[in-house]
């Protein structure tokens, strides 16, 4: 039984040859000749016959013979050579037509429209004409300058006057710019500096002025040969190229290279988020044994760290995109601000250099953010501040933000650490204190004060303890308990050899301010008495010293 035909299978084989438009676009203008171009459109009277797969292609068919004679607006290009059984489809057969139900990533580049042959020839002619005019202009200006120099020289000889003075009077304002091309003098100074200072220690290098004087003296005595001058010029040009385009040839170049590399890597990583159905293996790049950090600090292999991160993402169901609604963005901003308030990078210039978080600095583990009294409760008290807050967003609780765009902007600033908590330096603390003092002196409101009590300014009545109440409180506080008359005799007898932990002495206040304080003091005294009675009722503990107590001998005595 024959298998069912595939509805998405195309019997037309794929042609891997480049399309004619692409080949023509990349061909040079040298291959274009006049007979290839006419003003008449392409003749469509004789369409090209496509040979079938069963029949072998004929070497010379009438249609193919008529193609070179057809009038076309494009140059005649050789037909692509195909294998037996393949047909040139002109780029119609694509991956999309063969797989219509598969996702295709859109291209990221802009396709330029191809120019016509007439436009290309016109541009080529204009370019040649411009080059010819520039060459003629250069020759004419050179001839004028040469004749002018000859005339100035003749006039200077006739009048016995310096040529430089006459040249200044003739030119007046120069129209020529001196190019920074390496001169022979600069090349010789550069080469002499390298030769003279190489053998000397760092502290004994010759100064530039001394090297220039020695080069001038050598040039006046013609001590440098032409080969030496040419070599010096080449070395100076190479050194300038290295300084201009060299990788990390200086601090500025190193900073620019690091910034460009980081930006490129960031764009590449962020670009991976728009790919479709991308699955790839975790890749770790190591430099100078940096992977041992995970083993020494976390006691984990780098691959285990990647696996843990993947499991964390799957379990938490974290979305890598920005928050979708206003409430989610506000909540994320609040959490990041609160977390950053407790844990942030340590500033070496801070007052508390040993602290790694505000909780350790202030002694308050659950320190909260105060937006209204931020300048006094946070900056002045804990010497920290939140830098990088977006300009067009008012400094307030993120829950007061009313637009999604502003909430996302603040969330992005907090996530990429452009808005972060930092410890204030000593200079910044002094400046902040001066600003607060100036604002208070000027009468401006700093923060928001607490609401005043309703009974503010009224006299408060203080309760006193009566004698009867004091006598009642002096009791043991246990109902139904009767004192044993033999307790006094037991107290007089010598106590056994045992270590007892005495309760802390409770001092009675001379004047109790309120009834609650008096009650608390009485309860403490009762607890001390009860602990004393319980200690006397317990059996004696064996002595820890080397002495031996014989109870029988004591009784006989």
Bridge partners of residue 421, in order along the sequence: 386
What b/e sequence results for 367-387 when a residue is b if at least 16 CB atoms lie within 10 Å of its CB, and e otherwise?
beeeeebbbebbbbebbbbbe
Q: Can you give the residue ranges of every domain in the chain?
A: 1-35+62-101, 133-171, 184-252, 278-318, 326-442
Q: What is the dihedral of CA 498, 499, 504, 510, to 10 degrees?
A: 40
Q: How far apart are CA 423 and CA 426, in angstroms?
A: 10
Q: What is the pLDDT of residue 426?
A: 92
| Stretches in the chain below the pLDDT threshold 50 | 1, 9-10, 12-75, 77, 85-87, 345-363, 465-495, 512-513, 547-549, 551, 553-557
Q: What is the pLDDT of residue 539?
A: 64
- Per the rule left: phi > 0, alpha: psi between -120 and 50, beta: everything else, 175 is alpha
Q: What is the pLDDT of residue 489?
A: 42
215 burial via Cβ count (<10 Å: 0-12, 13-18, 19+): buried
Distance (Å) of CA 324 to CA 320, 375, 408: 11, 33, 9
pLDDT in tens, 211-241: 999 999 999 888 899 999 999 999 999 988 8
Contact by Cβ (8 Å): 25, 74? no
* Residue among 151, 201, 191, 194 nearest 171 (CA): 151
Coil/strand/helix, residue 37: coil
Coil/strand/helix, residue 384: strand
The contacts of residue 77 (CB under 8 Å, 6+ apart) are 20, 23, 24, 27
pLDDT in tens, 323-365: 568 888 899 999 999 888 876 544 444 444 434 444 444 445 5
Strands 420-423 and 384-387: antiparallel
* Residue among 176, 154, 152 nearest 166 (CA): 152
What b/e sequence results for 79-110 when a residue is b if at least 16 CB atoms lie within 10 Å of its CB, and e otherwise?
eeeeeeebebbeeeeeeeeeeeeeeeeeeeee
Tell me how many degrees the CA angle 265-268-272 measures, rounded to the nearest 5. Answer: 140
* Residue among 423, 393, 425 nearest 408 (CA): 393
Tell me how many degrees the CA angle 318-321-322 measures, rounded to the nearest 5. Answer: 110
Contact by Cβ (8 Å): 79, 17? no
The pair of three-digit structure tokens given for residue 312, joined into one six-digit string: 């964390």
Distance (Å) of CA 482 to CA 478, 487, 522: 9, 11, 20
Q: How many residues does the chain have?
A: 557
Q: How far is CA 352 from the centre of its chain?
A: 27
**What CATH number was assigned to the domain covering residues 326-442?**
3.90.1460
């Amino acid at each position: 039984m024959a298998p069912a035909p595939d509805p998405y299978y195309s019997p037309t084989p794929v042609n891997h040859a480049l399309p004619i438009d692409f080949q023509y676009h990349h061909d040079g203008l040298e291959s274009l000749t006049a007979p290839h171009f006419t003003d008449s459109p392409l003749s469509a009277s004789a369409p090209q016959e496509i040979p079938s797969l069963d029949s072998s292609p004929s070497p010379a068919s009438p249609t193919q013979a008529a193609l070179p004679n057809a009038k076309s607006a494009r140059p005649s290009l050789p037909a692509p050579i195909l294998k037996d059984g393949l047909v040139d489809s002109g780029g119609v057969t694509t991956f999309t037509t063969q797989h219509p139900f598969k996702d295709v990533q859109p291209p990221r580049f802009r396709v330029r429209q191809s120019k016509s042959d007439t436009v290309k020839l016109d541009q080529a002619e204009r370019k040649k004409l411009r080059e010819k005019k520039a060459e003629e202009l250069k020759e004419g200006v050179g001839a004028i300058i040469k004749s002018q120099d000859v005339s100035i020289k003749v006039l200077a000889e006739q009048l016995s006057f310096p040529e430089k003075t006459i040249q200044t009077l003739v030119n007046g304002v120069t129209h020529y710019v001196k190019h920074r091309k390496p001169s022979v003098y600069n090349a010789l100074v550069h080469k002499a500096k390298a030769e003279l200072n190489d053998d000397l220690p760092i502290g004994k290098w010759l100064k530039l002025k001394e090297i220039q004087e020695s080069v001038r003296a050598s040039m006046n005595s013609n001590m440098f040969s032409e080969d030496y001058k040419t070599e010096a010029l080449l070395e100076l040009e190479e050194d300038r190229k290295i300084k201009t385009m060299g990788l990390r040839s200086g601090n500025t170049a190193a900073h620019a290279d690091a910034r460009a590399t980081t930006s490129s890597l960031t764009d590449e990583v962020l670009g991976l988020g728009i790919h479709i159905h991308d699955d790839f293996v975790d890749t770790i790049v190591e430099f100078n044994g940096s992977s041992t950090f995970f083993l020494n600090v976390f006691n984990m292999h780098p691959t285990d760290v990647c696996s843990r991160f993947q499991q964390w993402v799957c379990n938490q169901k974290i979305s890598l995109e920005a928050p979708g609604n206003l409430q989610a963005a506000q909540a994320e901003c609040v959490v990041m601000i609160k977390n950053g308030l407790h844990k942030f990078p340590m500033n070496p210039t801070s007052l508390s250099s040993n602290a790694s978080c505000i909780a350790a600095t202030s002694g308050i583990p659950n320190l909260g953010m105060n937006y209204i009294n931020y300048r006094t409760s946070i900056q002045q008290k804990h010497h920290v501040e939140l830098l990088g807050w977006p300009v067009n967003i008012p400094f307030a609780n993120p829950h007061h933000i009313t637009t999604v765009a502003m909430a996302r902007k603040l969330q992005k600033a907090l996530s990429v650490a452009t808005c972060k908590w930092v410890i204030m330096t000593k200079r910044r603390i002094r400046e902040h204190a001066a600003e607060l003092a100036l604002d208070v002196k000027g009468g401006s409101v700093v923060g928001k004060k607490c609401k005043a009590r309703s009974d503010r300014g009224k006299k408060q009545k203080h309760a006193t303890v009566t004698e009867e109440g004091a006598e009642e409180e002096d009791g043991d506080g246990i109902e139904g308990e009767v004192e044993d008359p033999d307790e006094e005799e037991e107290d007089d007898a010598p106590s056994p050899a045992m270590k007892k932990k005495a309760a802390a002495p409770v001092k009675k206040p001379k004047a109790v301010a309120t009834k609650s304080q008096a009650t608390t003091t009485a309860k403490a005294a009762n607890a001390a008495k009860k602990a004393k009675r319980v200690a006397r009722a317990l059996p004696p503990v064996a002595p820890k010293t080397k002495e031996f107590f014989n109870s029988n001998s004591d009784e006989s005595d």
